[in-house]
Structure formats: structure tokens, C-alpha cells
């Protein structure tokens, strides 16, 4: 392990220990350090900013209350993301019970700023089970074994979802590129 990586692990473990001892600033620093990761994971489940915010807020609250239950400080990030995934799933279940029209296909992302992001749109078109695994693996850098632990599934299941997710993403990308190319050629005629 490089000395920089080793310092980061020591720093993370130190912050977790301090937070467990009641140091609110250490806890805030831990959350700030993981804020972008939490947003990306919640974004893989929701397009609605309110649901994303609810999931993150619930996660932070649960994390703060449950910090004494964390067995090893070095796994704080994995533990935090696991809590977030469970909160996202809880919100999805709650929303389905409250509003059965959510079972209808999405009509797209309502935020105009995100409509211009092709990658976001392509990821949204993937089934959630593939999108989450791809995000955790490629964007967040989790290992297959860590993803399996986070999602409570076998490593082989994670591997197959990664493989299928990559293939589905490639197919969607190819279709989108072909469609764009067709539209460009039509404009030239």
C-alpha cells in the first residue's frame, strides 16, 4: 500500500474513532468526504432530487445513531454505502405503496440540466440492478467482493450483473449512436 493511501486509511480510521467518541466535527468531515459517493449511489436509484435528499438524510441520521455498532473503522465507507442502499430500497418500497402509478415506466428526467447528459440518460435506461452494480464498480471503485457484501448477494451474481450490465450499456450506446448518426445523415439530405 502506498504511503499516501496508508495515510488516508489512518486518517479515516482516526476520524471514525473521534466520531465514535462524540466529536461532531469528525463525523461531519466523514460525511463530507463521502458526500459525492452517496449522491452517485442514490442517483442510481432515483431521478427525483427529493428522494435522493431523503435517502441521504436518512442515511446520515442512521449512521450517526449506529456509529457505535460499526465493527471496524476501516470499513466505514462500505458500511455507510450499505446503509444508503437499504434506505433507497426502503424509499422505493414506500413510494410504490403510496403511489402505484410509479409502476408505470418513467417518462424521463425532468431536470433540464440533466437532459443534456447522455451518459446519465444511458445509465437511466439500464435496469436498476445493473446500474447500481456498474456504478459501485466503475464510479465508486468498490471491488466485486465489497459489492457482494453491500448488496447481500453472491460474488458470482455481482460478476454476472457486471457482465450483463456492460453488454446492455454497450447495446444501448450502440443504438443511441446509430440513431444519432441516422439523424445527422437525414439532415444532410
Are 155 and 94 contained in the same domain? no
* Region 104-122 average pLDDT: 51
- Judge if pTM exceeds 0.75: no
The domain in which residue 9 lies consists of 1-104
Of 47, 79, 104, the position where a domain reaches its end is 104
Q: Give me the pLDDT at residue 42, please.
A: 92
Report residue 65 CA to chain centroid gap: 22
User: What's the CATH number where 135 sits?
Assistant: 1.10.10.10
Going 52 to 57 to 62 to 63, the CA torsion angle's sign is positive
Are 72 and 138 contained in the same domain? no
Are 25 and 85 contained in the same domain? yes
User: What's the CATH number where 67 sits?
Assistant: 1.10.1740.10
Contact 91, 28 (CB under 8 A): no
Q: Give me the pLDDT at residue 186, please.
A: 45
Are 10 and 33 contained in the same domain? yes
Average pLDDT over the chain, rounded to an integer: 80
Range in 18-32, 96-110, 119-133 with the lowest mean pLDDT:
96-110
Of 36, 69, 104, the position where a domain reaches its end is 104
Of 72, 104, 136, the position where a domain reaches its end is 104
Q: Give me the pLDDT at residue 98, please.
A: 65
Q: Give me the pLDDT at residue 181, please.
A: 66
Are 98 and 176 contained in the same domain? no
Contact 129, 161 (CB under 8 A): yes
Are 73 and 116 contained in the same domain? no
Residue whose C-alpha is closest to residue 162's, from 186, 187, 139: 139
CA-CA distance, 166 to 82, in Å (whole number)?
Answer: 23
Are 1 and 58 contained in the same domain? yes
Amino acid at each position: 500500500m502506498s504511503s499516501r493511501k496508508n495515510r488516508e486509511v489512518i486518517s479515516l480510521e482516526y476520524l471514525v474513532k473521534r466520531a465514535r467518541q462524540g466529536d461532531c466535527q469528525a463525523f461531519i468531515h466523514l460525511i463530507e468526504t463521502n458526500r459525492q459517493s452517496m449522491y452517485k449511489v442514490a442517483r442510481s436509484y432515483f431521478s427525483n432530487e427529493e428522494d435522493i435528499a431523503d435517502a441521504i438524510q436518512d442515511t446520515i441520521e442512521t449512521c450517526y445513531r449506529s456509529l457505535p455498532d460499526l465493527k471496524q473503522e476501516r470499513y466505514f465507507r462500505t458500511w455507510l454505502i450499505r446503509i444508503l442502499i437499504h434506505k433507497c430500497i426502503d424509499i422505493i418500497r414506500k413510494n410504490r405503496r403510496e403511489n402505484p402509478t410509479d409502476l408505470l415506466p418513467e417518462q424521463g428526467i425532468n431536470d433540464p440540466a440533466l437532459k443534456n447528459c447522455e451518459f446519465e440518460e444511458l445509465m437511466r435506461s439500464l435496469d436498476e440492478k445493473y446500474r447500481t452494480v456498474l456504478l459501485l464498480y466503475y464510479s465508486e471503485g468498490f471491488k466485486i467482493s465489497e459489492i457482494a457484501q453491500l448488496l447481500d448477494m453472491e460474488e458470482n451474481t455481482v460478476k454476472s450483473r457486471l457482465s450483463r450490465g456492460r453488454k446492455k450499456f454497450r447495446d444501448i450506446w450502440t443504438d443511441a449512436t446509430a440513431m444519432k448518426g441516422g439523424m445527422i445523415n437525414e439532415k444532410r439530405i
